[in-house]
Amino acid sequence: MRIVLCGGAGYIGGHAAVVLAQRGHEVAIVDNLSNSSARAVERLGEVAGMPFEFHHLDIRDAAAMDRMFALRPVDAVMHFAALKAVGESCEKPLDYFDNNIGGSIALLQAMRRAGVRRLVFSSSATVYGDPERVPVTEDARLQVSNPYGRTKLVVEELIGDLCRAQADFRAANLRYFNPVGAHESGLIGEAPGGIPNNLMPYICQVAVGRRPELSVFGGDWPTVDGTGVRDYIHVMDLARAHADALDYLVREDRNLTVNLGTGRGVSVLELVQAFAEASGREIPYRIVGRRDGDVAEVFADPSLAQRLLGWRAELDVRAMCRDAWRWQSANPDDYAD
Ligand code: NAD
Ligand code: WQD
């Protein structure tokens, strides 16, 4: 199939591009490089063994999107393109509404004009907010507590309405839990600009000497060791799920909303310990106050994805830490030369 990956130069889209190319699909990457780089696109080509078709454009640019879709018939779009920093979304909600919601509407319109009727959307466990119980199933109450999360929920709802209105439109909402790790080559990985918001890239930067210590946000949560518990999932397992979800849309001709996680909760201190073992580096940390908006414990019930897609996460926390470290130690400044 010819598949367009919007936001495909980024962390998760890039890993998905590699997996899709390995499965024999023709991949075209569309990205405005607002949170990625031309160098990352080059590296993706190195990993895949040949350069990717790349379109440097914004999904909100209707004319450019029409030109891109007109090149060759497209079988499906995977939509990774979004801003994703929760804190920033509270400061600049309009930027998030414009890019994430406006961008998605513009993309759906461009797909409609081009007659493309399959979509795989990067949603997030953030749509569950502070879940009433764990593991979280897909029918749990949806509730969001910040503008970023709202954009994910709204776009899921817009896609749902579109599926109801357009009989032949098929979509998969993939609710990612906490993606971490990197391709085993060490050539590509997560490259947060500035101070990392997320735990694993922060740990990586401490390990490589870019930051003195990790701040652990809260040691008094009602969890196994008082620190926050999450469902970390290896980005290569996640990437594989995208290929499987697209196969499902084609094979079953039905829409899909699934959790993508391992089903296992891991605390901050457990992840720090696993990373120290995998890297052989000490990770100095200090327990500080809770971060606004955080919750104690979130992990997935991933059984629906297993039932519908035949997919399950295969890589454990050791592999996540090993591969994150291989990437960061070989590229201490991410994609910078
Ligand atoms: P990322 O920032 O690395 O990748 C997103 C890519 O989209 C970037 O390359 C960016 O340049 C591009 N982009 C953004 N707006 C664009 C626009 N208007 N037009 C064209 N390109 C645009 O982030 P990621 O971690 O790879 O996340 C991918 C998707 O998964 C996002 O939608 C994110 O919200 C979602 N998600 C991420 C996580 C996570 O923890 N990383 C968890 C759940 C969901
Ligand atoms: C994990 C744990 C922190 C950093 C966020 C978004 C969510 C999704 C994934 C996109 C928590 C603790 C973190 C640090 C720490 N993104 N922590 N020190 O909060 O589960 O989810 O990313 O959809 O929407 O909210 O992930 O990696 O930020 O935090 O102690 O420097 O690590 O308190 O317990 P989170 P995270």
Q: 176 - beta bridge partners?
A: 124, 260
pLDDT above 70: percentage of residues in the chain: 100
Average pLDDT estimate for 65-92:
98
The pLDDT, as a whole number, for residue 194 is: 93
Catalytic residues: 148
CA distance 124 to 146: 13
Average pLDDT estimate for 65-94:
98
Q: Whose CA is nearest to atom 34 of ligand 1?
A: 84
Q: Regarding beta strands 214-217 and 285-288, do their DSSP bridges make them parallel or antiparallel, or are they unpaired?
A: parallel
Atom of ligand 1 nearest to the CA of 12: 26
Atom of ligand 2 nearest to the CA of 149: 24
Ligand closest to Cα of 179 equals 1
Write out the DSSP string of 140-184.
SPP---SHHHHHHHHHHHHHHHHHHHSTT-EEEEEEE-EEE---T
Q: How confident is the model at residue 284 (pLDDT cuts 50, 70, 90)?
A: very high
pLDDT digits (tens, 9 = 90+) for 19-51: 999 999 999 999 999 999 999 999 999 999 999
pLDDT digits (tens, 9 = 90+) for 192-240: 999 999 999 999 999 999 999 999 999 999 999 999 999 999 999 999 9
Average pLDDT estimate for 103-112:
98
The full set of domain ranges for the chain reads 2-330
Atom of ligand 1 nearest to the CA of 81: 7
Ligand closest to Cα of 173 equals 1
Sign, CA torsion 147/293/286/179: negative
The pLDDT, as a whole number, for residue 337 is: 59
Ligand closest to Cα of 79 equals 1
Average pLDDT estimate for 102-123:
98
Q: Whose CA is nearest to atom 32 of ligand 2?
A: 199
Quote the pTM value.
0.99
pLDDT digits (tens, 9 = 90+) for 133-174: 999 999 999 999 999 999 999 999 999 999 999 999 999 999
Q: Is the pLDDT of residue 299 over 90?
A: yes
Average pLDDT estimate for 240-258:
98
Dist. CA 89 → ligand 1 center (Å): 14
Ligand 2 site residues, Cβ closer than 6 angstroms: 84, 86, 124, 126, 178, 197-199, 202, 214-217, 228, 230, 268, 291, 294
Average pLDDT, the chain: 98
The pLDDT, as a whole number, for residue 106 is: 99
Could you say which of 3.40.50.1820, 3.40.50.1980, 3.40.50.720, 3.30.360.10 is the CATH number of the domain covering 2-330? 3.40.50.720
pLDDT above 90: percentage of residues in the chain: 100
The token duo for 153 is 């929920």
The pLDDT, as a whole number, for residue 200 is: 98
Dist. CA 35 → ligand 2 center (Å): 18
Average pLDDT estimate for 277-290:
98
Sign, CA torsion 180/327/183/170: positive
The pLDDT, as a whole number, for residue 217 is: 98
In terms of Cα–Cα distance, which of 79, 84, 88, 83 is closest to 106? 79
Q: Whose CA is nearest to atom 31 of ligand 2?
A: 199
